[in-house]
Each structure stands twice: as C-alpha cells, then as structure tokens.
C-alpha cells in the first residue's frame, strides 16, 4: 500500500463558496483543492508498481522485473515530467489547476522520489536479493567474493574492461568532462604524483555503453549456475589498477539524469527530420535533473559534482547499492528458470490468415491483446501486400520496435506496385532515432512517407486498405488503442478493430487526407478525432449523462485509460457526479481528479489496476438512457491527447462486440479485488482485497483463463 501524500483537505461545495469574496461569482469546480498535481500523481504510480515487487504471490523473477520497471519509470519521470516542471519554473509559466507553483512541485517531487528510491533499495537489499540467493540466483556484492571469484573478476577487468576505459584526472588542463545521461561513472580520490609529477586529487572514470552492466561468472569458477556481479562493483574494486603508483583513497559511483525532451521549433525549421537528427546528437547532454551517488561519498565531492551539474542539494540521491539498479533486469533475461516466472500462455488466433478480408466483409473483428494474437494484424498487412486486388495501403506508425515485420510487409507492398502511404511520427519520445531510420527505409522502397502535422503529434493507430472487389472499391480498416508493435502487443492490454464499415472507412480516409495533404477538417460520421471533435465530443456525452440524471433517467459513465488531467473534462465529471451520475474510472497512472469529496465527487470511484500486463486500453462507455455508446481510442483524457495531438476515437457498433468489450475490459476490471488500487480523497491509494463474502478475482487472470485456456 502506497503511503499517503501530504495534501490539502478536500473542500466541500459550501466551504468553497464561503471563501469567495462578496459579489464574486465563482465556479466552485475550479477550486485548486479539487485537483491533484499531475506530476506527483504520476510519481505515485511507481509505488504501486513497486508493490508488485513485494507481493509474495508473484513469481520471484517477475518481482525483480517490477522493481526494475519502477526504477526505469523513475528515470523517465525525471527526464520528461520533472524536466517539464523545471522548464515551467525557469520561464514563469502558468500554474496548473492544482494551484501549485513549479518550484513547489519540484520540491515535492524530490521529497516523494526520495521515499520511492529508499523503498526500491530496501526492496532490493532486504527482500529480493536474499530471496534470489535462496533460489540459486546470486548477485554477489564485493564483500562476498571468494578468492577464486576475485581472481577471475580481476582478469576479466584487465582483459575486457580496462582496455576501453579512459580515466581523466581533473586539473586546469583537464576540466570536468561531459557526463552522458544515465551513464555509469566513478569519481576517484587519489593521493600521490603521476608520471609527470602532477599531484593527484580527483579523477573520473566513465564506463562506456559498450560494457555490460551485469557480468555473469562461469559456473566452473563461481560454483553457481546463476552468479552475477554488477559492473559498478568491478570498477570500484579494481579501479586502483588504472592509477599505478598512486594511492586510491576512495572510489564512488555516480550517475546523472538529464532532461531528454527534444525542443524543436517545428514552425521555424524547413526539414523536421534534419532538425531532429541535429537535436538527437546533443540529447544525452541536456540539463541535469538528478544526481545519484554512493551513500558513502564525502560531502565535498558531492558539492563539486552539484556545482558542475548546476543542481541544488535537493537533487542529490544517496544510493545504498548500485546507482544503475534497473540494469539488474538482465538477470531476468539471462536466467532461464520457468519456475520463477509467470507461466507462458498461447494467445488465440482470431482469424485465418488467408481469409481476413472475407471475415471482415462478413462482420467486424475485435482483437483483445495480448489474449488475442497480434499475428492477425500482421497477416492483414501481409495479405494486403500480396493480394493483387489491393490497390492502396495507408498506415500510421508511432512505435514499431526493432526488425518490425510490419515495415517489411509495407516495403513488399510498395515493391508489388501498391500505393503505400505511411505517416511516421518522428517525435515519438525515445523512438525518434529509430523512426528516422524507419522513414529512410520506407522511402528507399518507394513508400510515400509523411511526417504528420506541425505542432501535433500523430498518435492515432489506424490502417486503411483499399481493395477492388468486382466493379467497386472497398475499404478495410484497422483501428487500435495501442501501437503497431509486436513486442508490446504481448505485454500491453489493447483493443483492435478490423472493419469494412463504409462510414468508418470513409472517416479514416478523410483523416489520412488531412495528414498527407491539406484537406479541411470536415465532420466525420462515426469517429471522433483530436484535435477537432474528440474533446468536445467527450464533454458533450458527459453532459448528456448529467442531463439524463437530472431528468430522472438512468445515467452512468465508465471509462478506462492510462491517465486523466484535462480540467474541462474533470469539471464535467464533477458536475455529472453532483447530478447523481455514477462514474467509474479505471485510470492506470496519473489522475488529477479527486474522488469522494462531499457534494462534488461522492459518486465517482477511481481505481488503478497493476498486474502482469500493462493496462493500456482506452475505453469510454456512456449509458445514454439505455442505448449505450462505447468507444475505444488512442487517446487518454489528457490535455496533450485531446488538444495537441492527432488521435482517433472509434465506436464499437456491433452489439455483441460492444457487450464483449463491456464485459472483458470494464465490468471485469471493476470486479478485480486482487490487483486493484482505489484512489482516496486524500490522494493515497488503498489496495483492495476480497471481503469476507467475496471470491478473489483478478481481471487479467480471468481473461487468460477465458480466452487462452
């Protein structure tokens, strides 16, 4: 259970109105006390991830994986979210609906993040590492190496590590070197004189990215089949060999996390691809956000590092263990112990690979990943590439992964004479370089590549296939809540829809026209789209439920997403709650809405599910007076998704498929009492558990049993 955050006491409607000056007509739903801070809420999600690492019912190596995920998430949080707050502070940007200044948010981020880091290392040192050792998987610390292990590691250091190191002594001729984002480094305190008679003081040893961060010892040397050592431990132990004739008084590992948000003024550049390539060169050396350093490092050295990185004291994280703890994920990959991992499952195949067009022509096909195989989507693209009746393929690509089969099928389609257009989003965070290479590969094959729209990331997941059938052309469409990425489709929960519905096909055609040309924003018949109609469409449907409740009609909203912070949507939900609408929100990560406030949000429940798979679907369900509407979308209810991105939101029109989505991804998750956390009015999350009369229920496990059993 995550520790409660210190938050302001929630205000009731009467209390809010009472604080307003006489004669001022206030909107009580704008009161800052009704909003959690988005960054702090996102940070708290990692406590729920870490709780999985401490859960004894989870297989041991999976618990290790959850620990690493929480560490990696924290890295990215500082690279993006905390860096954004720092930027807002520097430029005096407006405060968020929660009323907190950027300086206050940064202060609270560091306070809360240090609690998380302490919990992560306690989990590693006191729980997982000992339990792994009991199970025959040993990550050996320096003090436990025996003579044989030490000899082998020393030889490994001399043969494999030392030749690629370039230690740098710090003096007027050798200023502090550039330190790459999240790289492993050792600051060394020296005594004595070097070959030129210079007195030693401090030196920096940088570990190149080419070196493995986890080293596996041979079984015939160590005695264990699964014995590992951190590179940081090897460097610290043998660093004296880099400074012959000098005395090493201390060696302290450190790591700096930097801002990784690329800043390209798209309206000022003539070629976005070239501008991004230039920005990527310097990304690893942008502004520092956090310093992790060995717990025993002397204060004067810490001060020296802080001055060099232009960081305040609050940004120092003293680490009781390796500063790159997330690298222990390699142990998960290297250790083949099925008994310590989740049991494998076989996704079901929803369609015959040679008959997808025939199947879609008969009726819509719904895919629920990872329980339904992503191979159906790959087969659709492959069949489209090979079918002589297919004339054109249009697709968006945001993240695809390495060696993507989708890309190969698109290349083959172009070689087969199809008209292939691909919208590649170059600004997909941390995939920019990969997407630049992807765009080059597609263009070389004759694919028409479009980079999207200036100022709006193309985050929509859609594919359009135009096929000649007799004397007519027919459009087949795939729309999804997740990326065209075979890897994430095995571990993320997402929905995909394959349909030949002519209205949906025409809507998708119109969106592609907007992206590849200069088509106007026209009214779509079935889809809602950001940045034009989705935001207003969501608010309109929430307000419709509000009106129905006020009229005494049935009214309910159920929505599932990754994050929620758009203030107009939040206010509309508050108003719906005040009208008596029951609102159930399943929000995996950040949620700025405060539930359970008397007179304002008493009818709102917010829960977060953290389990084996990353919850990624976006689903919106509205009762609509007994004629329910259900939508799936690529968009969370975030400001960026609803107002500053190209997103799609598509209806599930088939009543049977609509009932299936409601059952599998909404009712099923609302019944979860094993992996669910409920957001409280004070901002903390309470882990749910089965009551005395309730049967234990895991939404993900039930889907595995039902769909893959």
Which residues carry out catalysis? 459
C-alpha distances in Å from residue 562, one per residue of 85, 181, 571? 20, 27, 19
Query: Tell me, what DSSP letter sits at residue 128?
Result: I
Can you give 553-581 as a three-state secondary structure string? Answer: CCCEEEEEECCECCHHHHHHHHHHHHHCC
The H or E element that residue 234 is part of is helix 231-238
Longest CA–CA span in the chain (Å) reads 90
Q: What is d(CA 450, CA 330) in angstroms, rounded to the nearest whole number?
A: 37
Q: For 556, what's the count of Cα atoms within 13 Å in the CB-facing half-sphere?
A: 13
Q: Checking DSSP bridges between strand 419-424 and strand 448-450, what pairing results, if any?
A: parallel
Residue 212: exposure state from Cβ atoms within 10 A (0-12, 13-18, ≥19): exposed
Taking only Cα atoms into account, the Rg of the chain, rounded to an integer number of angstroms, comes to 27
Residues contacting 201, CB < 8 A, separation 6+? 169, 170, 171, 189, 190
Q: Quick one: tokens of 559? A: 């929505």
Q: What is d(CA 368, CA 498) in angstroms, rounded to the nearest whole number?
A: 12
Omega before 370 within 30 of 0, i.e. cis: yes
Whether 149 contacts 200, CB under 8 Å: no
Closest CA to 384 of 501, 477, 451: 477
At how many degrees (to 10) do helices 432-444 and 272-282 cross? 140
DSSP letter string, 388-419: TTEEEEEEEES---TT-HHHHHHHHHHHTT-E
14: Cα separation from own chain's centroid: 39
Q: What is d(CA 599, CA 677) in angstroms, rounded to the nearest whole number?
A: 23
Q: What is d(CA 106, CA 87) in angstroms, rounded to the nearest whole number?
A: 11
- What's the CA angle centered on 560, arms 559 and 563, to 5 degrees? 110
Q: What is d(CA 621, CA 667) in angstroms, rounded to the nearest whole number?
A: 11
Quick count: other Cβ atoms within 10 Å of Cβ 146? 11
Q: Checking DSSP bridges between strand 365-369 and strand 316-319, what pairing results, if any?
A: unpaired
Beta-bridged to residue 35, according to DSSP, are: 593
Alpha helix positions (H), 476-531: 502-516
Quick count: other Cβ atoms within 10 Å of Cβ 701? 15
């Amino acid at each position: 259970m995550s520790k409660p955050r210190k938050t302001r006491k929630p205000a009731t409607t009467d209390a809010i109105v009472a604080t307003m000056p006489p004669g001022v007509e206030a909107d009580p739903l704008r009161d800052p006390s009704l909003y959690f801070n988005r960054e702090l809420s996102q940070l708290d999600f990692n406590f729920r991830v870490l709780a999985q690492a401490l859960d004894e019912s989870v297989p041991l190596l999976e618990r290790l994986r959850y620990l690493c995920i929480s560490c990696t998430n924290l890295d990215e949080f500082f690279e993006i979210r905390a860096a954004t707050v720092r930027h807002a502070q520097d430029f005096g940007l407006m405060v968020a609906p929660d009323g907190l200044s950027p300086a206050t948010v940064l202060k609270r981020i560091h306070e809360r993040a240090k609690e998380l880091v302490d919990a992560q290392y306690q989990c590693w040192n006191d729980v997982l590492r000992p339990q792994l050792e009991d199970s025959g998987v040993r990550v050996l610390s320096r003090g436990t190496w025996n003579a044989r292990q030490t000899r082998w590691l020393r030889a490994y250091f001399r043969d494999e590590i030392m030749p690629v190191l370039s230690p740098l002594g710090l003096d007027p001729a050798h200023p502090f070197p550039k330190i790459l984002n999240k790289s492993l480094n050792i600051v060394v305190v020296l005594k004595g004189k070097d070959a030129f008679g210079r007195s030693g003081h401090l030196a920096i040893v940088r570990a190149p990215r080419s070196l493995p961060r986890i080293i596996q010892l041979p079984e015939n040397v160590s005695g264990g089949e699964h014995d590992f050592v951190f590179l940081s431990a090897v460097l610290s132990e043998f660093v004296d060999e880099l400074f012959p004739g000098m005395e090493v008084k201390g060696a302290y590992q450190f790591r700096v996390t930097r801002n990784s948000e690329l800043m390209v003024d798209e309206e000022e550049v003539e070629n976005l691809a070239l501008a991004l390539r230039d920005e990527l060169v310097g990304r690893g050396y942008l502004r520092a956000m956090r310093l992790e350093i060995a717990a025993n490092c002397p204060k004067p050295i810490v001060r020296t590092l802080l001055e060099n990185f232009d960081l305040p004291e609050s940004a120092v994280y003293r680490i009781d263990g390796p500063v790159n703890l997330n690298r222990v994920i390699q142990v998960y990959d290297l250790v083949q112990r099925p008994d310590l991992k989740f049991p494998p499952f076989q996704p079901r195949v929803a369609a015959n690979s040679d008959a997808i067009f025939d199947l879609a022509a008969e009726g819509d096909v719904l895919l629920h990943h990872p329980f339904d195989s992503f191979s159906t989507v790959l087969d659709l693209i492959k069949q489209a590439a090979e079918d002589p009746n297919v004339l054109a393929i249009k697709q968006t690509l945001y993240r695809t992964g390495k060696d993507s089969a989708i890309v190969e099928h698109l290349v083959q389609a172009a070689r087969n004479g199809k008209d292939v257009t691909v919208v590649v989003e170059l600004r997909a965070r941390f995939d920019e370089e990969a997407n630049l290479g992807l765009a080059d590969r597609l263009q070389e094959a004759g694919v028409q590549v479009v980079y999207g729209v200036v100022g709006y990331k193309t985050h929509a997941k859609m594919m359009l296939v135009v096929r000649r059938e007799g004397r007519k052309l027919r459009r087949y469409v795939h729309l999804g809540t997740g990326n065209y990425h075979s890897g994430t489709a095995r571990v993320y929960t997402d929905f995909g829809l394959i349909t030949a519905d002519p209205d949906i096909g025409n809507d998708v055609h119109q969106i592609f026209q907007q992206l590849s040309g200069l088509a106007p924003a026209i009214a779509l018949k079935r889809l809602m789209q950001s940045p034009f109609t989705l935001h207003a469409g969501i608010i309109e449907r929430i307000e419709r439920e509000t009106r129905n409740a006020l009229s005494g009609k049935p009214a309910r909203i159920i929505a599932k997403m990754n994050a929620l912070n758009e203030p107009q949507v939040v206010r509309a939900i508050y108003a719906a709650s005040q009208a008596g609408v029951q609102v159930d929100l399943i929000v995996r990560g950040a949620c700025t809405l405060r539930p359970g406030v008397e007179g304002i949000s008493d009818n709102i429940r917010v829960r977060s599910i953290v389990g084996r798979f990353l919850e990624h679907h976006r689903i919106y369900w509205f009762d609509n007076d007994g004629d329910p509407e259900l939508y799936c979308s690529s968009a969370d209810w975030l400001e960026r998704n609803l107002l500053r991105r190209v997103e799609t939101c598509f209806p599930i029109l088939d009543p049977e498929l609509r009932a299936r989505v409601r059952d599998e991804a909404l009712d099923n998750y609302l019944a979860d009492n094993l992996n669910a956390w409920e957001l409280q009015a004070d901002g903390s999350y309470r882990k749910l558990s089965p009551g005395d009369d309730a049967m234990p229920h895991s939404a993900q496990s039930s889907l595995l049993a039902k769909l893959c059993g």
